[in-house]
Structure 1
Amino acid sequence: MADRPSGRGETYGGQSREERAADRRERLVAAAVALFAARDYDDVTVADVCTLARVSKRYFYDHFADREALVLALHREVNGWLLEHVAAAAPRDPDGLEAALRPMLAALVRLLAQHPDRARIVYINAPRMELRRRGVLREEAELFGRLLAPLAPRLRADPMRYQRTILALIAGVSEVLIDWVWHDMRDPAEPLVDHLTGLCASLLE
């Protein structure tokens, strides 16, 4: 005998319950990206997100506890996407700090320029949540610290100093990027990459 659905409403429009839930979450996330990219955090409501996503509030709360939980999830996903691409851009055998830093910073700046909606989520709206911002800084510092460690043996000899130097470096880079995104990325990307590379190399050297 052929298998039958386990309950009423298991499939609808050719989609399983799980597929419909995944589709609703995807629409909520896409709507939130569009809205938080266009407006400040305080100017976006749960109702706004649901209206744009064409999802009822009931289903919104199946996925997110509130607006802040939604932004945190967005921030986590977008920042993970950024770090993945930065790590992929790291050269295998760089000839010095600048050669290691430039492709990673270029990948970061290029992605932000290509995706201004995601840039605003990471660098404008989410920084209002200070604890999450600090967590992100540590995630980025850990990535850069790991990738640059072979090129900074003098600093690495003092692990605590090295960790704090990398954290200060990433915090500085983030503030510069926040300022760039805040001004709608009007300045060209290439000089920004040059400035950030020089800043980071000077601090590490």
Structure 2
Amino acid sequence: MNLRAPARTWGGRTTEERRAERRARLIDAALEIWLDSGWAAVTMRGVCTRAALNDRYFYEHFADRDELLVAAWDDVNTEVLADLGALVAERIADPPLEIVRAAIALVVQQQSTGRARILFADHAGSAVLEERRKVALIDATDLLVATSRPYLRADIDETEFRMSALFGIGGFIELLTAWRTGAMDIDGTRIADQVGALTTLLGAQYLAPNITSTE
């Protein structure tokens, strides 16, 4: 009979719990620096200093800075998707356009107050982040198409709808970027209202007539 040795603990935490805590501290430190000064300011030394951890703990979790940047980006992406998933679950009985408008408002709010603005910030110069951003845009389009399918008119061209969805999501991201960088003198409420209105126009084109109302 094989008996598994009990996990050793230090200060009431197991080795794996302490490792997970150190990893979380490194990611949090990277995100703080990223929000303050941009992704290019995230360095191994700077992150370790802010996390109050020795360099060796960095390499316990990450092979290099790129791997840390991807982990930090993924961490934020998971948070945003979880928030959106919770919103949809809470409002699942609402008309689809109302759910989309609520999701738009939530993303705008996250961009103004939290780490979510990292997802679609300027990643020029980082191949790994540019790839993450590209994949996220396609994933968001696929998700919108898949979740919309039960509500679409039977005769639509799905490729056309997919192009429109990609165009709409990409335009939404560019509006958020223009707002964040000051390229346009707008506020979050104006963005949410404008994108919501455009979504309603697209809904009239693609959704079945009995479910296009947002009343």
Deviates more, 1:143-152 or 1:75-84: 143-152
Number of positions where the alignment pairs a residue of Structure 1 with one of Structure 2: 197
Distance in 2 separating the partners of 1:125 and 1:36: 11
- Aligned position for 1:176: 175
Is the contact made by 2:105 and 2:192 (CA closer than 8 Å) also made in structure 1?
A: yes
Per the TM alignment, residue 171 of structure 1 is displaced from its structure 2 partner at its CA by: 1.2
Could you say what the CA RMSD is over the residues aligned between the two structures, in angstroms? 2.9
**Structure 1 segment 52-201 matched on structure 2, within 5 A:** 52-90=50-88, 91-95=91-95, 97=97, 99-115=98-114, 118-126=115-123, 128=126, 129-153=129-153, 157-183=156-182, 187-201=186-200
| 1:35–1:6 CA distance, 2 compared to 1 (3 A) | same
Query: In 2, are the aligned partners of 1:109 and 1:189 still within 8 Å (CA)?
Result: yes
Q: Secondary structure at the match of 1:73?
A: helix
> How many angstroms apart in 1 are the aligned matches of 2:157 and 2:30?
43
Cα distance, 1:158 vs. partner?
A: 1.9
- Tell me the amino acid that sits aligned with residue 67 of structure 1: R
| Corresponding residue for residue 46 of structure 2 | 48
8 Å Cα contact 1:83/1:140 also seen in 2: no
- 2:22 match: 24
Quick one: distance in 2 between partners of 1:120 and 1:100? 21
Question: Given that residues 141 and 165 in structure 2 are in contact (C-alpha distance below 8 angstroms), is that contact kept between their aligned partners in structure 1?
Answer: yes
Give the conservation status (yes or no) of the 8 Å contact 2:25–2:51. yes
Q: CA deviation at 1:55?
A: 1.4
Secondary structure at 2:121 match in 1: helix
CA distance in 2, matches of 1:183, 1:198: 22
SS for the counterpart of 1:123 is coil
Shift of 1:145: 2.1
| Aligned 8 A contact 2:80 2:116 in 1 | no
Given that residues 30 and 47 in structure 2 are in contact (C-alpha distance below 8 angstroms), is that contact kept between their aligned partners in structure 1?
yes
Deviations along 1:66-118, one digit per CA (max 9) or x if unpaired, are: 11111111111211221222233233244463x23211111211222231xx1
Gaps of 5+ in 1: none
Percent identity between matched residues is 30
Report the TM-score, using the length of structure 2 for normalisation.
Answer: 0.78
Q: TM-score, normalised by structure 1?
A: 0.82
